[in-house]
């Protein structure tokens, strides 16, 4: 299994950073849909978060149950230093690949 976050995982890590310490699946999904304009299911968000937790890129904890009848605890996530390093490295790789291609004729808008 690769340590590099794939594109969806990168979007999720960036959403975690933007949301701060109160990040759980629903707001992470909303952040990606709102900012990136990407359609992503909640199941895909949680599957990616589980993979990243296994690799040490995120850590999780459960909140207290919501103060309502039948209220459930939420599983919150935050990026770890290892996740931050992997995210920066992924950005640097893409930056190196784009270097010098910004005005390439094959990439011009049509």
**Of 57, 58, 17, 59, nearest to 35 (Cα)?**
17
Distance CA 49, CA 57 (A): 9
**Beta bridge partner(s), residue 57:** none
The predicted structure's pLDDT at residue 13: 97
pLDDT bin (cut points 50, 70, 90) of residue 106 is confident
pLDDT, average across residues 32-59 = 96
Distance CA 12, CA 7 (A): 9
Q: Vertex 74, ends 47 and 71: CA angle to 5°?
A: 135
- Give per-residue pLDDT as tens, 61-91: 997 777 777 678 889 999 999 999 999 999 9
The predicted structure's pLDDT at residue 48: 97
The predicted structure's pLDDT at residue 33: 97
The predicted structure's pLDDT at residue 70: 65
Which DSSP helix (H) or strand (E) runs through 77?
strand 75-79
The Cα-based distances of 44 to 26, 67, 104 in angstroms read 11, 28, 35
User: Over the chain, what is the mean pLDDT?
Assistant: 91
**Of 22, 9, 33, nearest to 82 (Cα)?**
9
Residue found under tokens 């992924």:
90
Whether 20 shows a pLDDT value over 80: the answer reads yes
The predicted structure's pLDDT at residue 41: 96
Domains annotated for the chain, with CATH where assigned, are 7-64+72-94 (1.10.10.10)
């Amino acid at each position: 299994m690769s340590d590099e976050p794939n594109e969806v995982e990168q979007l999720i890590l960036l959403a975690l950073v933007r949301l701060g310490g109160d990040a759980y699946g629903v707001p992470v999904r909303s952040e990606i849909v709102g900012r990136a304009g990407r359609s992503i299911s909640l199941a895909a968000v949680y599957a990616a978060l589980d993979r990243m937790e296994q690799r040490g890129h995120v850590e999780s904890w459960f909140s207290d149950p919501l103060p309502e009848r039948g209220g459930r605890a939420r599983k919150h996530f935050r990026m770890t230093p290892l996740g931050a390093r992997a995210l920066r490295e992924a950005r640097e790789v893409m930056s190196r690949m784009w270097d010098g291609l910004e005005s390439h004729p094959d990439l011009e808008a049509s």
